[in-house]
């Protein structure tokens, strides 16, 4: 009944939120004696002002799209999957094993197998918490958090004792061979004769993540499974009434969720570092939660939110490079934007809603 026009809902309110976040950040920057306008221009130019900036922004966004989708799918079944971090780490392991195990002649052959490797490993890591939730009622939040720690310990063990490249100091595998390296934005646009900066790690995984946005949209809104997942998420008792097995839905939604998180590995491990390093996920699993919340668990929303986070990450890196703003404060600035645009949405929405309806009434 009570509804704002779409342009206010999806454009004006986020913009006001963003403006307030930037204003507060400016105060922070001012306080430590830097010029806020400079900082802002460095952030924005650095993130979207050049093909170089876009390359990094989209690289980060790709990670967040995968983890954001992972959290979204679980959200639809009302499962709060906090374990994206661990599932992505295992997915990275799966991708790395695929890349290291065979002498790949060309990435076109390696990529599909790596996708399967990452998805299977990520799903497997989600399977145990899912089973415990479905069969034993152990709370998924607790178990997935525990599995994050276990994933990190397992990876450290494997990298230190099993997979470490001989002679390397760092606990990381050797670089993948040429045939297991993905084409970057520079390569791909080069095929069409378009110039794109050589350095950023954005790669074909970005296109794959877009594909998965579509797949997930299709799954959730066009398939029987998606219908059942959503029904279960809205009302477990009603789903049971309708003959939908809670165990099946919990398992399947969590497996899909884990697989999506695991797919992040093709971007970070195969696309960027081209080797498996310790902690290759770098918090993207947790950012996925914020991305899914901000994107309201809709794949298109996730895509937009992931790009916003990508901009924040890349802009933050540029700030760290060219100003004396300490990295802790850069995190504060990033957090302010997330807080205002995501968590405190209603703080702005409600007054605007009231104002709008007052104006409408006055107008009629």
Partner 1 sequence: MTLIKTIISASAALIASAAMVVADPALIYDLGGKFDKSFNEAAYEGAEKWKAETGGNYNEIELQNEAQREQALRRFAENGNNPIVMAGFSFASSLSEVAPDFPETKFVIIDMVVDAPNVRSTVFKEEEGSYLVGMMAAMSADKAIGFVGGMDIPLIRRFACGYVLGARSVNPNIEILQNYTGTTYHAWNDPIKGGELTKAQIAQGADVVYHAAGGTGIGVLQAAADAGKLGIGVDKNQNHLQSGSVLTSMIKRVDLAVYNAFTDGADLTTGFEVMGLSNDGVGYAMDSHNASLVSADMQAAVEAAKAKIIAGEIQIHDALTDNSCPAS
Partner 2 sequence: MTKDKQERPETAAPAIQLKNISKSFGPVQANKNISLTVNSGTIHGIVGENGAGKSTLMSILYGFYKADSGDIYIRNAKTSIPDSQAAISAGIGMVFQHFKLVENFTVLENVILGAEDGALLKDSLSKARRQLQELSTEYELDVDPDAIIENLSVGLQQRVEILKALYRRANILILDEPTGVLTPAEADHLFRILKNLRDQGKTVILITHKLREIMDATDTVSVMRSGEMTATIKTNQTSPEKLAELMVGRKVLLNVSKSVAKAGDIALEVKDLKVTDEKGVLRVKGITFNVREGEILGIAGVAGNGQSELLEALGGFRKSQGLVSVYGHSLDLESPSGQEIRDQSIAHVPEDRQRLGLIMDFTAWENIGFGYQHEPEYSNSWGLMNNRKMRKDASNKMEKFDVRPSNIKLKVRNFSGGNQQKLVLAREIERNPDILLIGQPTRGVDIGAIEFIHNEIIKMRDEGKAIILVSVELDEILSLTDRVSVMFDGNLVGDRITRETNARELGLLMGGETD
Taking the least distance from each CB to partner 1, the nearer of 89 and 128 is 89
Encode 186-197 in three state secondary structure. HHHHHHCCCCCC
Q: How far apart are CA 243 and CA 245, in angstroms?
A: 6
Residues 236-295 that bind partner 2 (CB under 8 A): 237-238, 240-245
Near partner 1 by CB under 8 A, which window of 149-157, 182-190, 234-242, 342-350? Answer: 149-157
Residue from 283, 286, 304, 352 in contact with partner 1 (CB under 8 A): 283
Taking the least distance from each CB to partner 2, the nearer of 31 and 241 is 241
CA 61 from centroid of its chain's CA atoms? 7
Near partner 2 by CB under 8 A, which window of 103-111, 218-226, 255-263, 266-274? Answer: 218-226
Taking the least distance from each CB to partner 2, the nearer of 106 and 234 is 234
Q: Does 171 bind partner 1 (CB under 8 A)?
A: yes
Q: Which two tokens stand for residue 83?
A: 């374990």
Q: Does 206 bind partner 1 (CB under 8 A)?
A: no
Taking the least distance from each CB to partner 1, the nearer of 101 and 331 is 331
Interior/surface letters 247-259, b for 16+ CB within 10 angstroms, e for the rest: eebbbbbbbbbbb
Which of partner 1, partner 2, none has residue 354 at its interface (CB below 5 to 8 Å by kind)? none
Site string for partner 1, 298-327 (x = CB under 8 A): ---------------x--xxx-xxxxx-xx
Which of partner 1, partner 2, none has residue 283 at its interface (CB below 5 to 8 Å by kind)? partner 1
Which of partner 2, partner 1, none has residue 234 at its interface (CB below 5 to 8 Å by kind)? partner 2
Sign of CA pseudo-dihedral 52, 55, 57, 63:
negative
Q: How far apart are CA 172 and CA 6, in angstroms?
A: 49
Q: Does 227 bind partner 2 (CB under 8 A)?
A: yes
Q: Does 59 bind partner 1 (CB under 8 A)?
A: yes
- Residue 89: CB atoms within 10 A of its CB come to 33
Which of partner 1, partner 2, none has residue 22 at its interface (CB below 5 to 8 Å by kind)? none
Give, to the nearest 10 degrees, the angle between helix 51-76 and helix 205-222. 30
Closest CA to 96 of 34, 164, 157: 164
Which of partner 2, partner 1, none has residue 85 at its interface (CB below 5 to 8 Å by kind)? none
Three-state secondary structure call for residue 40: helix
Q: How far apart are CA 349 and CA 47, in angstroms?
A: 28
For residues 82 and 289, is the Cβ–Cβ distance under 8 A? yes
Residue from 45, 139, 198, 222 in contact with partner 2 (CB under 8 A): 222
Interior/surface letters 269-278, b for 16+ CB within 10 angstroms, e for the rest: bbbbbbbbbe
Q: How far apart are CA 31 and CA 12, in angstroms?
A: 29
Residues that bind partner 1 (CB under 8 A): 35, 38, 41-42, 45-46, 49-53, 56, 59-60, 152-153, 156-157, 160, 164, 168-172, 175, 197-201, 268, 272-273, 275, 277-280, 282-283, 313, 316-318, 320-324, 326-327, 330-331
Residues that bind partner 2 (CB under 8 A): 1-3, 222-228, 230-231, 234-235, 237-238, 240-245, 357, 361
């Amino acid at each position: 009944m009570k509804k704002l026009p779409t342009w206010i809902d999806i454009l004006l309110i986020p913009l006001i939120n963003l403006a307030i976040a930037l204003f507060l950040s400016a105060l922070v920057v001012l306080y430590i004696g830097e010029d806020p306008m400079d900082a802002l221009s460095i952030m924005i130019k650095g993130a979207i002002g050049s093909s170089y900036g876009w390359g990094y922004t989209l690289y980060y966004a790709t990670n967040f799209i995968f983890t954001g989708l992972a959290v979204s799918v679980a959200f639809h079944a009302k499962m709060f999957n906090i374990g994206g971090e661990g599932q992505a780490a295992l997915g990275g392991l799966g991708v790395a094993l695929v890349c290291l195990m065979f002498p790949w002649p060309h990435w076109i052959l390696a990529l599909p197998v790596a996708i399967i490797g990452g998805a299977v490993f990520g799903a497997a890591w989600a399977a145990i918490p899912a089973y415990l939730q479905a069969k034993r009622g152990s709370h998924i939040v607790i178990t997935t958090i525990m599995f994050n720690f276990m994933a990190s310990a397992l990876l450290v063990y494997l990298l230190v004792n099993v997979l470490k490249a001989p002679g390397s100091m760092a606990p990381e595998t050797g670089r993948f061979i040429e045939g297991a390296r993905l084409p970057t934005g520079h390569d791909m646009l080069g095929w069409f004769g378009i110039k794109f900066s050589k350095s950023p790690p954005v790669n074909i995984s970005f296109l794959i993540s877009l594909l998965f946005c579509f797949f997930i949209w299709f799954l959730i809104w066009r398939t029987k499974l998606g219908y059942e997942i959503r029904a279960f998420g809205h009302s477990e008792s009603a789903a049971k009434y309708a003959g939908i097995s809670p165990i099946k839905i919990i398992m399947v939604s969590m497996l899909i969720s884990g697989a999506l998180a695991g797919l992040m590995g093709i971007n970070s491990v195969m696309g960027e570092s081209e080797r498996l390093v310790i902690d290759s996920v770098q918090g993207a699993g947790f950012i996925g939660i914020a991305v899914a919340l901000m994107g309201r668990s809709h794949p298109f929303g996730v895509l937009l939110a992931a790009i916003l986070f990508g901009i924040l990450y890349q802009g933050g890196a540029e700030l760290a490079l060219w100003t004396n703003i300490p990295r802790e404060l850069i995190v504060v600035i990033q957090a302010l934007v997330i807080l205002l645009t995501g968590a405190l949405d209603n703080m702005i929405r409600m007054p605007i809603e009231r104002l709008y309806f007052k104006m409408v009434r006055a107008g009629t």
